[in-house]
């Protein structure tokens, strides 16, 4: 079974069409990257898949569940990390993880989920400090652990490491890679082409609301005679 | 353009928005209307009071009283039948019936004080409802003065104390078909002041503070970028809406309790000690009445909070959330002023409709209405506010199920949906 099946997806914001009939599949356990210039429709696509925005037309299935008919069922098996997400500033890191865990589980199972989240966040003693005292990197680590501690079947990560330093970015990539190796399907978007090349099994290049290229990094590089994905990106977008 | 002008222009554009101007205009209109209402009250004060006179004496002193009253009042009844007099005054919308007993003249001429019975026909228990009774008080003072003048002119042997104050008075106030002997309208208004003043004030405070919390909560969710995460969790939209409403309602009630304690001390220090126990006239609240008051407060709070939730969906951040509390504040302040100064029954029809339509008016009026047995008004109000709250909750849940919460309104969205329909025809 495919983790995601998108068919002729259209998303309109009033008179403006942001996504113009895209289709793609993401296989179970795969790390799939959506890349494209600003305003291409990446975030809109991710938000639709995360059940935040309604489908204007077309169909989306997540692990066989129809997104339009069963959004609540879809929410039980996914986690979504928006690009500029925040956490509740008046809570401590641990309290924030507890708050999220209680939506997915109760009792010992919830406690185990929180323990896992605390471990993934690697915030040491600072996990018991209020979120508003965290640096950007610490907040992002907390949010990534929040997104992954629930063992989602699919995790949707928008600009995973945007604005982070190299060390923090590497740690977060490693965490995501670990979870994907344990079977979680990952759909991510990024402007960092190196990150995409390093992490993704397959990539879809989206431009002006349409998918213009789709394949493995090596397939795309070979097709365009490029030495890296950044070159592929530049050639496709400026063509 | 200088740097200063550049900054001033930028600040103007940022500060002078529709959302800051509209509430101010509404506030100005409200004060304008209150001003015209006050003007109307001034006319009431200057207009001659409408009264009736039952003269069982028909003697010299009652003639003086009649002449004095006739100079400054519209006497709609003059006769000897108390009930007919009361009906006539009530029918003419008058303020009082003055009853002079048969021994009025003989008592005064014998050196005793003349007895006057005043039957007040009270229309409302608001602070401004006792204005007409004040005009009648002035009239009675004039009668007293005229009789004093006569006694002085005649160089009678009457004791100076009686000459200076030749009248003694007993009062009966008729309000909502209840006869309260020994109670003047002023005293009644004073005793009911906690219902007239404290209750509307506390309700207004609860609504503004709890409502502000809901709107701010939505603004904070957007500003802190936590809303998107919340909406992708496996929790129904109705649970999110209900959770936010319930938490704010509970905090609102706690705050109301704190306010009530403080305000109670404040009012106790201001109130005159009540000389009459209104419970003997049935003017008290039983357990069932308190349940109705509680229900009225609860549904109004839910209505206010769900209305705030709808407004909160428009908040882009914490700052814009603060501006969005203005309409709610206005809707809480308007009924507070109206119910403080006038009873629902004594308001013009337009204001009655406005007051009934504003859901926050009902708990402000509930206690007083229940005291006077107006159950239909209170129960009808609860039903209306509950329906209003249900509609608002439904709208909130609907908005939470749409893209609007995250994307805001898109210009032309409505037109874009409408045009294809037109083209297809």
Lowest mean pLDDT among A84-93, B26-35, B60-69: B26-35
Cα separation, A70 vs A62, in Å, equals 10
For residue B387, give Cα distances in angstroms to B309, B311, B381. 16, 18, 10
Task: Give the distance from residue A50's alpha carbon to the nearest chain B alpha carbon, in angstroms.
Answer: 6
Tokens of A35: 């890349």
Instruction: Please indicate whether residue B269 or residue B338 has the higher confidence score (pLDDT).
Output: B338
Contacts of A81 in chain B (CB under 8 A): 229
Mutation target vs B (from A72, A82, A149; most B CBs, 10 A cutoff): A82
Between residues 78 and 117 of chain A, which touch chain B (CB distance below 8 Å)? 78-82, 84-89, 100, 103-104
pLDDT in tens, B164-191: 889 998 888 888 777 888 888 877 777 7
The answer to whether A47 contacts chain B (CB < 8 Å) is yes
* Inter-residue contact B150 to B105 (CB < 8 Å): no
Nearest to B335 by CA among B249, B217, B207, B425: B207
With 70 as the cut, is the pLDDT of residue B229 above it? yes
**Pairing of the two strands B167-175 and B96-100:** unpaired
Instruction: Please indicate whether residue A135 or residue B190 has the higher confidence score (pLDDT).
Output: A135
Q: What percent of chain A has pLDDT over 90?
A: 74
Count of other CB atoms within 10 angstroms of residue B255 = 16
Mutation target vs A (from B219, B222, B223, B228; most A CBs, 10 A cutoff): B228
What is the complex's ipTM, to 2 decimals?
0.92
Are B231 and A52 in contact (CB < 8 Å)?
yes
With 50 as the cut, is the pLDDT of residue B413 above it? no
Cα separation, B216 vs B408, in Å, equals 17
Are A85 and B226 in contact (CB < 8 Å)?
yes
**HEC string for B224-292:** CCCHHHHHCCCCCHHHHHHHHHHHHHHHHHHHHHHHHHHHHHHHHHHCCCCCCCHHHHCCCCCHHHHHH
Nearest to B215 by CA among B143, B312, B290: B312
pLDDT in tens, B42-58: 666 667 888 899 999 88
Mutation target vs B (from A14, A68, A154, A155; most B CBs, 10 A cutoff): A14
pLDDT in tens, A174-226: 989 999 999 999 999 998 888 999 899 999 999 999 999 999 999 999 999 99
Find the helix or strand (DSSP H, E) in which B391 lies: helix B375-400
**Secondary structure (3-state) at B117:** strand
Are B406 and A15 in contact (CB < 8 Å)?
no
Contacts of A13 in chain B (CB under 8 A): 403, 407, 410, 413
Are B410 and A53 in contact (CB < 8 Å)?
no
Are A15 and B228 in contact (CB < 8 Å)?
no
Which of A18-32, B10-24, B97-111 is the most confident on average? Answer: A18-32
With 50 as the cut, is the pLDDT of residue B421 above it? no
**Pairing of the two strands B74-79 and B50-55:** parallel
Cα separation, B354 vs A90, in Å, equals 41
């Amino acid at each position: 079974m495919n983790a995601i099946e998108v068919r002729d997806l259209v998303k309109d914001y009033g008179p403006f069409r942001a996504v113009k009939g895209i289709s793609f599949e993401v296989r179970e356990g795969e790390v799939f990257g959506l890349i494209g210039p600003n305003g291409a429709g990446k975030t809109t696509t991710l938000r639709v898949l995360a059940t935040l925005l309604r489908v204007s037309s077309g169909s989306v299935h997540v692990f066989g569940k129809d997104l339009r008919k069963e959004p609540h069922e879809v929410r039980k098996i996914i986690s979504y990390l928006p690009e500029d997400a925040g956490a509740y500033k008046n809570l401590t890191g641990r309290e924030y993880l507890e708050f999220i865990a209680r939506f997915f589980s109760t009792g010992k199972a919830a406690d185990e989920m929180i323990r896992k989240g605390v471990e993934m966040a690697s915030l040491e003693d600072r996990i018991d400090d209020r979120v508003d005292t965290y640096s950007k990197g610490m907040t992002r680590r907390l949010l990534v652990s929040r997104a992954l501690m629930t063992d989602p079947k699919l995790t949707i990560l928008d600009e995973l490491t945007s604005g982070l330093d190299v060390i923090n970015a590497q740690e977060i990539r490693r965490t995501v890679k670990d979870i994907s190796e344990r079977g979680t399907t990952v759909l991510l978007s990024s402007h960092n082409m190196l990150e995409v090349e390093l992490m993704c099994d397959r990539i879809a290049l989206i431009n002006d609301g349409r998918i213009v290229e789709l394949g493995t990094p090596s397939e795309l590089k070979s097709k365009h005679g490029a030495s890296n994905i950044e070159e592929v990106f530049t050639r496709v977008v400026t063509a | 353009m200088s740097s200063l002008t550049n900054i001033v222009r930028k600040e103007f554009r940022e500060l002078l928005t529709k959302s800051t101007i509209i509430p101010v205009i509404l506030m100005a209109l409200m004060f304008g209307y209150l001003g015209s209402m006050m003007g109307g009250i001034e006319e009431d004060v200057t207009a001659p009071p409408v009264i009736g006179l039952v003269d069982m004496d028909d003697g010299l002193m009652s003639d003086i009283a009649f002449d004095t009253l006739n100079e400054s009042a519209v006497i709609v009844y003059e006769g000897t039948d108390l009930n007919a007099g009361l009906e006539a005054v009530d029918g003419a919308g008058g303020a009082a019936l003055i009853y002079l007993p048969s021994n009025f003249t003989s008592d005064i001429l014998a050196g005793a004080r003349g007895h006057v019975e005043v039957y007040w026909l009270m229309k409302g228990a608001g602070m401004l409802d006792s204005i007409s009774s004040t005009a009648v008080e002035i009239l009675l003072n004039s009668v007293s003065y005229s009789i004093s003048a006569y006694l002085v002119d005649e160089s009678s042997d009457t004791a100076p104390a009686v000459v200076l104050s030749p009248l003694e008075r007993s009062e009966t106030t008729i309000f909502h078909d209840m006869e309260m002997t020994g109670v003047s309208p002023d005293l009644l208004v004073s005793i009911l002041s906690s219902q007239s003043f404290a209750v509307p004030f506390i309700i207004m405070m609860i609504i503004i503070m709890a409502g502000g919390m809901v709107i701010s909560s939505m603004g904070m969710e957007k500003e802190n970028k936590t809303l998107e995460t919340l909406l992708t969790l496996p929790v129904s939209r109705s649970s999110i809406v209900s959770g936010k409403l319930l938490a704010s309602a509970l905090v609102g009630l706690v705050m109301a309790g704190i306010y009530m304690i403080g305000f109670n001390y404040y009012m106790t220090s201001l109130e005159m000690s009540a000389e009459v126990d209104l419970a003997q006239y049935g003017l008290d609240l039983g357990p069932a009445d308190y349940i109705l008051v509680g229900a009225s407060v609860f549904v109004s709070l839910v209505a206010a909070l769900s209305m705030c939730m709808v407004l909160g969906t428009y908040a882009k951040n914490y700052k814009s959330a603060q501006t969005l509390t203005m309409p709610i504040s206005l809707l809480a302040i308007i009924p507070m002023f109206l119910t403080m100064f006038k009873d629902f029954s004594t308001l013009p029809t337009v204001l009655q409709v406005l007051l009934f339509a504003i859901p926050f008016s009902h708990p402000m009026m509930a206690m007083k209405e229940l005291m006077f047995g107006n159950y239909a008004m209170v129960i009808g109000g609860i039903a209306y506010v509950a329906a209003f709250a249900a509609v608002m909750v439904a709208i909130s849940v609907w908005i939470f199920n749409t893209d609007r919460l995250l994307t805001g309104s898109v210009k032309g969205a409505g037109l874009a949906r409408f045009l294809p329909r037109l083209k297809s025809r």
